């Protein structure tokens, strides 16, 4: 029996156990089903933030770490376990249009774009990359009289995740990506800015797997749609710097994100 170390947590290791010496198709399918939810969570988890960044020259860059908590069953023993899938990431967001100002409210229709790139620490030679983009539409600016309200459209994907070597009898290669839309409301209170949000995520996972000794070479895919709830806050301890903490729940699983951003 071999143990394949897929992802490492900050202090917790997730060992996905695969019998490579005598693989079966059911064993490979069990692996795919075990890893599907964690990968979907990792690919979509990161600090969303409440700020729509209306108009040029608003620009932020930042870095952070996200951890997606998942409960799973060991595919060999059936024992229930919990672990965290981490992502270390960098982000950037640029305001493009400040929106339309009316006598009582401002920032209607503001536009910002964002991008992020993350790495999932891996027990193999190649780390797993996570990349994504965002279009943020502001409905209201955060002012003394109104909260900030925005809608976020996101797309995220991971690089191929490979189980087994090319020379092994069994191998599986997984791809995952997701589309999401979220409504987010925030209110700045001096240096403290809390926010909450809700949205929908569509997850797609595709895989190919082979077992040479059984003459198998097949594909596998699944699509799921989950509701995401999020809540967080950012503090501004120093001018231009923002420290953020966020909690997400998606499909019954939890995620946490911590970030430091620099705003121009």
What's the pLDDT band for 49 if we cut at 50, 70, 90?
Answer: low
Peptide bond into 84 cis (omega under 30): no
Q: Cβ distance 199 to 45 under 8 Å?
A: no
What's the pLDDT band for 221 if we cut at 50, 70, 90?
Answer: very high
Which residue did the predictor score with more confidence, 15 or 214?
Answer: 214
Q: Cβ distance 78 to 23 under 8 Å?
A: no
**Whole-number Å distance between alpha carbons of 162 and 184:** 35
Q: What pTM was computed for the model?
A: 0.83
What pLDDT does residue 126 have? 61
Q: Cβ distance 202 to 157 under 8 Å?
A: no
Residue 1 CA, distance from chain mean position? 32
User: Rounded mean pLDDT of the chain?
Assistant: 79
pLDDT more than 70, % of the chain: 80
- Pair of tokens at residue 211: 């077992």
Which residue did the predictor score with more confidence, 34 or 215?
Answer: 215
- Pair of tokens at residue 216: 């198998």
What pLDDT does residue 39 have? 72
**Whole-number Å distance between alpha carbons of 87 and 47:** 11
| Weakest-pLDDT range from 78-82, 115-119, 171-175, 178-182 | 78-82
Is the pLDDT confidence value at 233 over 80?
A: yes
Is the pLDDT confidence value at 172 over 60?
A: yes
Is the pLDDT confidence value at 183 over 60?
A: yes
CATH topology of domain 2-263: Porin (2.40.160)
Rounded to an integer, the average pLDDT of 111-117 is 90
In this structure, is the dihedral angle defined by the CA atoms of residues 141, 143, 145 and 150, taken in order, positive or negative?
positive
Whole-angstrom CA distances from 6 to 24, 91, 256 are 19, 24, 20
pLDDT more than 90, % of the chain: 22
What pLDDT does residue 240 have? 84
**Whole-number Å distance between alpha carbons of 79 and 77:** 5
What pLDDT does residue 58 have? 81
What pLDDT does residue 202 have? 92
How does pLDDT run across 194-203, given as a tens digit for each residue? 999 999 999 9
User: In the chain, where do the E strands start and end?
Assistant: 2-8, 13-18, 59-73, 80-97, 110-120, 128-140, 148-158, 161-163, 170-186, 192-211, 216-238, 241-250, 253-263
Rounded to an integer, the average pLDDT of 6-19 is 38
Put residue 166 in one of left, alpha, beta given phi > 0 → left and psi -120 to 50 → alpha. alpha
Which residue did the predictor score with more confidence, 19 or 191?
Answer: 191
Rounded to an integer, the average pLDDT of 152-180 is 85
**C-alpha torsion 1→72→42→173, nearest 10:** 40
Rounded to an integer, the average pLDDT of 145-151 is 88
What pLDDT does residue 73 have? 65
Question: In b/e form, how buried is each residue of 26-63, taking b as 16+ CB within 10 angstroms?
Answer: ebbbbbbebbbbbbbbbbbbbbbbbbbbbbeebebebe
């Amino acid at each position: 029996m071999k143990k394949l170390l897929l992802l490492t947590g900050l202090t917790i290791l997730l060992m996905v156990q695969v019998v490579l010496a005598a693989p079966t198709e059911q064993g490979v399918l069990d692996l795919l089903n075990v890893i599907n939810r964690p990968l979907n969570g990792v690919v979509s988890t990161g600090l969303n933030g409440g700020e729509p960044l209306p108009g040029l020259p608003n620009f932020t860059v930042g870095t952070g770490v996200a951890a997606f908590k998942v409960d799973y069953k060991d595919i060999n023993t059936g024992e229930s376990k919990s672990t965290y899938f981490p992502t270390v990431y960098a982000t950037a967001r640029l305001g493009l249009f400040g929106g339309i100002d009316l006598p009582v409210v401002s920032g209607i229709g503001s536009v910002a774009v964002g991008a992020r790139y993350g790495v999932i620490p891996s027990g193999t030679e190649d780390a797993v990359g996570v990349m994504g983009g965002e279009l943020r539409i502001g409905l209201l600016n955060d002012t003394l009289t109104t909260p900030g309200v925005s809608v976020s459209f996101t797309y995220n994907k991971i690089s191929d995740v490979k189980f087994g070597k090319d020379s092994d009898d069994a191998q599986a290669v997984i791809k995952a990506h997701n589309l999401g839309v979220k409504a987010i409301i925030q209110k700045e209170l001096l240096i403290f800015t809390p926010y909450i949000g809700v949205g929908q995520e569509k997850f797609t996972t595709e895989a190919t797997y082979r077992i040479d000794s059984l003459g198998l070479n097949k594909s596998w895919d699944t699509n799921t749609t989950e509701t995401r709830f999020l809540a967080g806050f950012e503090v501004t301890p120093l001018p231009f710097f923002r420290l953020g903490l966020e909690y997400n729940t998606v499909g019954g699983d939890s995620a946490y994100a911590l970030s430091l951003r620099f705003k121009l």
